[in-house]
Amino acid sequence: MSVLTVVTRKTGAVPLARLGYRIARAVEEKLVCLYVESGEASPEPISIVPGEEVPEGTSEILAEICTELARDPHLDELRVRDGGAEENERILPDPEIEVRWLRSPRRLQTVLEQVTDVEARYLVAAKQRSKEKKVPLARKLFTAAPCHTILAHLPESGDVRCRRILVPTAGGPQAAAALQLAEKLASADTGEAVALYVGSDAGELAREVGARILDKAVAEAGLTESRFVSPRVELADERLAAIQRVAGEDFDLLLLGDSDAGTVRRRLFGTLPEHLLSGERAMGVAVIRRRFKLLHRLRRRLGRWLDLTIPQMDRPHRIALYEKLQSGSEWNFDFMTLMSLSTAIAALGLLQDSGAVVIGAMLVAPLMTPILGAGLALVQGNFPLLRTSGRALVFGYLMALLIGWAMGLLFPMLELTPQLLARGEPTLLDMGVAFLSGIAAAFCLGRPGLLAALPGVAIAAALVPPIATTGVCLALGETAFARGSALLFGTNVVAIILGAAVSLYASGVRGKRGASVHQRWVLYSFLVLLLGAAGLVVPLRSGWLSLLSGGAPVEIPATLESQLAKRLAAHPEVEIDAINSRRDEDGESVVEIELTAPRPLPDELIGDLAAVARAELGENQVVRVGTRLAVEVR
C-alpha cells in the first residue's frame, strides 16, 4: 500500500509533496510522488529515489521534489506518542519514498493505472484553477480514483503543518474518513484534531443537541478514545461564516469530508480570507472523498462503458423526456377518459373475439406513459415522480377492472372466447416480451426521430387487454382465468418498468449521488420490483415447462375421435365438441375431451371414454372428460 501524490504543475509542487509525506508517515505507508506531463507517451515511468542522482533529461520539478523530500528540516519533527504516556513516546519511521515521472496524452487514464500499480491507499492532488473550459486533472481524479482521494488547496510557499486540524462534521461515512485522517495526522505531529459541529441557535438545548450529534460522529469514526480529537460545538445562523471564524484561530489545516463538500466546499475554497491562505502561518484547505466500494466501482465502470458504447441523450432531450413523462403520468380527466374508452373497446373486442379491435384498444390506452415514468423515477431517484406514476397506475387499474367487470355483466357468454383464453395463461415468454418492450419504449421516447415506433411497442406490450380480461372473467365466474390475466398484467408492469430503467440508464439518464429519505424510498421500490420479478417466475414456470417439452404436450391421433364416436353410438344425444391437449400447472400432459349432452353422463360411460382415450394415447396418459349440459326447449 502507498500514498500517491500527483503533481501536474511546478507551482505548489513542493508543498503538495510535503503534505503527501506527512500523510504517508502518519498512516505508515510508502510515498510515491508522481509527476505527469502532457505529451507523447513515455514507454515506462522513470523512477527516482530522493538522495540519488536525477537522470538527465527529466523535469526540474522532479529534482526539486527529490531535494526537498531528502532534506527537509520541517519533516524531521514528526513524532507520535502511544498510549498517552510521555515515556512511551516513539519516533515514526521515515516512509519509503519514490518519485516517478511520466509523459502521456491521456493523463487521467495513466494516473488511474498508476493507482493500481502502486496499490494506492490515498491519492493526494492539488486544486487547480484553469482558465480553460476543460475540467482540471485533479478534479477528474477526485471523482474517478477508486482509493481515498484528497483535493487540497495549499499555500504556494511554506510548509503546511498538521498540529491543529479543523474538521467540520455532522456525521456520515465521508466525515468519518476526514476525522480518521485528521486524527492520524494530529497524532503524528503530537497535535490536535478539532471536530466542529455548527448548529442553529434554535433553543436552550441547541448546544446539548449539537454535542450529542458530534459525539455520534466521533463514535462513527471509531475515535471516541483518542486523546488527539477534541469536539467543539458552535451555534450560528450561517454555517459557512462560523467555519471561517473558527478557522482563523491558528489552525494549520481545514479538512472536509466529501459529504460536506457541495456548496460549503466550493465556497470555502474560494472565499477564505487571504491572510489565512498566505504568509508563514498559512492554512491549507482539503477535502477527502473515501474510497469507492466494490459496487460503486463496478457501477462507475459500467457507466463509462455505456458512455462510450451507446449514444447518450443530451441535456435538452433529458429535460424534454422528463417533462413528457411527468405530465403524462398524472391522474387527471384526460387520463381517466382514455383509460375508460380503451378498456371498453378492449372488453368488447375480447367478447366478440376480434383481434383488430383489441389492438386498437392497445393504441388508445395511456398506461404506458406512467409505467415509463416509474422507470425514469427509479433511475433518477425521483420519489415525487414515482409517487405520481404509481398513483396513475393503481387508479387506472382499478377503473379498468371495474369497466371490464361491467362489460362482462352486460354481455354474458356461455364460454370464453379464444381472445380471453389467450390472456389467462401467461408464461415466461410474456415477461421477456414486456422487458424488451420497456427497453424499446424508453429508447424510442428519448429520441424524437424514433417516436413512430411507439405504437408498435404499445401493441407488443399489452396492458389494458389483460385488465379487461380479468374484469370479464370475474363477471363470468371464471376465477382461474381472472387470476391468470391479472398475473399477466402484473408481469407486464414489473418487466416494462425494469426494462425502461435499464434503457434510460444506458442512454445517459443517471441520478445524483446522495442518501436522502426520498432516494432511499426509491431504492426500496426498486428492490421490491426486483423481488417481484423473481417471484413472478414461479407462477410463470408452467408455460415455460410446456415450451421445454416441445410446445403441445401430446399429439392427438386422428383415430381417437372415431373411436370415441363408436363408444357413444348408443348415446346419439351426446356430441363430441373438442379434444385438446395441454399442460397443467405442474407441467403434466393432460388430454381434455369436451362433450355436450342434455343430462349428466353416468360415471361408467365417462370411465369407458377415458379408457378408450388411454388405449389410443398410452395407459399413463391423464384424461379428463368434461360435459356441458344443453337442454332444448320447444
Q: pLDDT (tens digit, 9 = 90+) per residue, 97-121?
A: 888 888 788 888 888 888 888 888 9
Give residue 552's pLDDT.
47
Q: Residue 392 — pLDDT band, cuts 50, 70, 90? A: very high
Q: Residue 65 — pLDDT band, cuts 50, 70, 90? A: confident
CB burial of residue 414 (10 Å; 0-12, 13-18, 19+): exposed
Percent of the chain past pLDDT 70, that is, above it, reads: 78
**Beta carbons within 10 angstroms of residue 461's beta carbon:** 25
Write the pLDDT tens digit of every residue in 209-224: 888 888 888 888 888 8
Which amino acid does the sequence have at 458?
A
Give residue 402's pLDDT.
94
What phi and psi values does residue 559 have, to the nearest 5 degrees?
-80, -10
Q: Residue 56 — pLDDT band, cuts 50, 70, 90? A: low
Give residue 204's pLDDT.
65
- Asked if the model's pLDDT at residue 520 lies above 80, the reply is no
Give residue 518's pLDDT.
55
Give residue 254's pLDDT.
86
> Domain 161-292, what fold?
Rossmann fold (3.40.50)
- Asked if the model's pLDDT at residue 461 lies above 90, the reply is no
Percent of the chain past pLDDT 90, that is, above it, reads: 7
Write the pLDDT tens digit of every residue in 429-446: 888 888 998 888 888 887
CA angle, 556 then 559 then 562, to 5°: 120
Q: Point out which residues pair with 36 in neighbouring strands.
A: 102
Q: What is the mean pLDDT of residues 238-255?
A: 81
DSSP, residue by residue, 50-74: TTSPPPTTS-HHHHHHHHHHHS-GG
What is the Cα–Cα distance from 49 to 52, expressed in whole angstroms? 6
Across 136-273, the runs of DSSP E, i.e. the strands, are 148-153, 164-168, 192-199, 229-235, 253-257
562-601: string of b/e by CB count within 10 Å (b at 16+)?
Answer: eebeeebeeeeebeeeebeeebeeeeebbbebbbebeeeb
Write the pLDDT tens digit of every residue in 164-179: 888 888 777 788 888 8
- In sequence order, which residues have a C-beta less than 8 Å from that of residue 266 and are 6 or more positions away? none
Q: List the grid coordinates of 244.
A: 471561517
Q: Residue 405 — pLDDT band, cuts 50, 70, 90? A: very high
Give residue 513's pLDDT.
55
- Asked if the model's pLDDT at residue 69 lies above 80, the reply is no
- Asked if the model's pLDDT at residue 322 lies above 70, the reply is yes
Q: 3-class DSSP state for residue 197?
A: strand
Q: What is the mean pLDDT of residues 147-166?
A: 78
- Asked if the model's pLDDT at residue 306 lies above 70, the reply is no
Return the CATH architecture of domain 559-629.
2-Layer Sandwich (3.30)
Give residue 85's pLDDT.
43
- Asked if the model's pLDDT at residue 345 lies above 90, the reply is yes
- 71 compared with 27, residue with greater pLDDT: 27
Q: What is the mean pLDDT of residues 158-162?
A: 70
Q: List the grid coordinates of 216.
A: 455520534
- Asked if the model's pLDDT at residue 270 lies above 80, the reply is no
Q: List the grid coordinates of 405.
A: 367487470
- 55 compared with 101, residue with greater pLDDT: 101
Q: Residue 479 — pLDDT band, cuts 50, 70, 90? A: confident
Give residue 81's pLDDT.
43
**Beta carbons within 10 angstroms of residue 634's beta carbon:** 2
What is the Cα–Cα distance from 227 to 183, expressed in whole angstroms? 9
Q: What is the mean pLDDT of residues 170-189?
A: 84
Give residue 594's pLDDT.
85
Q: What is the mean pLDDT of residues 61-88?
A: 55
Most confident stretch, 241-255, 333-347, 418-432, 613-627:
333-347
- Asked if the model's pLDDT at residue 153 lies above 90, the reply is no
Residues of the chain with CATH 3.40.50.620: 1-155, 161-292
Q: Residue 234 — pLDDT band, cuts 50, 70, 90? A: confident
Q: Residue 80 — pLDDT band, cuts 50, 70, 90? A: very low
- Asked if the model's pLDDT at residue 194 lies above 50, the reply is yes
Q: Residue 276 — pLDDT band, cuts 50, 70, 90? A: low
- Asked if the model's pLDDT at residue 79 lies above 50, the reply is no
Mean pLDDT computed over every residue of the chain: 78
Q: What is the mean pLDDT of residues 489-494?
A: 90
Q: What is the mean pLDDT of residues 516-527?
A: 68
Give residue 263's pLDDT.
43
- 538 compared with 91, residue with greater pLDDT: 538
* Pairing state between β 575-583 and 30-37: unpaired
- Asked if the model's pLDDT at residue 53 lies above 50, the reply is yes
Give residue 471's pLDDT.
92
Helix (H) or strand (E) holding 579: strand 575-583
Give residue 88's pLDDT.
44
Q: What is the mean pLDDT of residues 374-387?
A: 86
159-163, 574-578, 623-627: range with lowest mean pLDDT: 159-163
- Asked if the model's pLDDT at residue 549 lies above 60, the reply is no
Q: What is the mean pLDDT of residues 260-266?
A: 46
Q: 3-class DSSP state for residue 629?
A: strand
Give residue 515's pLDDT.
47
25-39, 164-178, 465-479, 541-555: range with lowest mean pLDDT: 541-555
Q: Could you tell me how far CA 97 lies from the centroid of its own chain?
A: 40
Q: What is the mean pLDDT of residues 203-212?
A: 78
- Asked if the model's pLDDT at residue 185 lies above 60, the reply is yes
- Asked if the model's pLDDT at residue 89 lies above 60, the reply is no
Dihedral angle of Cα 457, 462, 464, 469, to the nearest 10 degrees? 170
Give residue 173's pLDDT.
79
- Asked if the model's pLDDT at residue 619 lies above 80, the reply is no
Give residue 277's pLDDT.
55
> Domain 1-155, what fold?
Rossmann fold (3.40.50)
